[in-house]
Amino acid sequence: MAKCGYCGTMILFGGVQAGGQRFCNNKCHQSAYVLSVAEHVPPDVLEQQVRQMHQGACPKCAGRGPVDVHRTYRVWSALVLTQWSNSPQVSCRRCATKSQIGGAVFSLFLGWWGFPWGLVLTPIQITRNVVAIFSGPDPKRPSGDLEKLVKVNIGVKLIEASRQTASTSQPPALPPK
């Protein structure tokens, strides 16, 4: 079984292959590229940005931090169809706990209705939410996931800046005749 080169998810079928790596989808492939661009950012600048986000206000409730990446797990099923997800969320601990309780309740009511995967995955996703509620990232320091997110944001800004520089350095296009 292959593992995504960006998010680490196990890939059962399909995916995107590039540069000797395999990715879940195009979004993970693009994020990996952006992350490689951000590798050129000096470590002290990255650390400052990560610390600023970690100690900033929660993007969901605007309350006090620390802010970090928290995960919510869901599953829903209908007869032979089962879909499960692992959703990262940047928020304070309080907002994350609300979301994780919501994910557990959602799974509790909508997860069981598929055979066989609904019956198998529902207790797993509920347990993952309960574990996430009582554990989670260390509030004293930013997690690796938060650092990765900040790197991707910096990489996006660097790519946008280089595109703007490239577009302004080209001569203006001639109007159509």
pLDDT at 39: 87
Structure tokens at 157: 């800004």
Q: Give the residue from 75, 142, 79, 45 showing the smallest Cα distance to 87.
A: 75
CA distance 121 to 107: 9
Phi, psi angles (nearest 5°) of residue 33: -65, -45
Q: Give the residue from 156, 78, 61 showing the smallest Cα distance to 122.
A: 78
pLDDT at 65: 86
Contacts of 177 (CB under 8 A, 6+ apart): none
pLDDT at 162: 85
pLDDT lower than 70: segments of the chain: 169-177
Q: Give the residue from 91, 93, 100, 98 showing the smallest Cα distance to 129.
A: 100
Structure tokens at 81: 């169809």
Which 8-state DSSP code applies to residue 79?
B
pLDDT at 41: 87
pLDDT at 174: 46
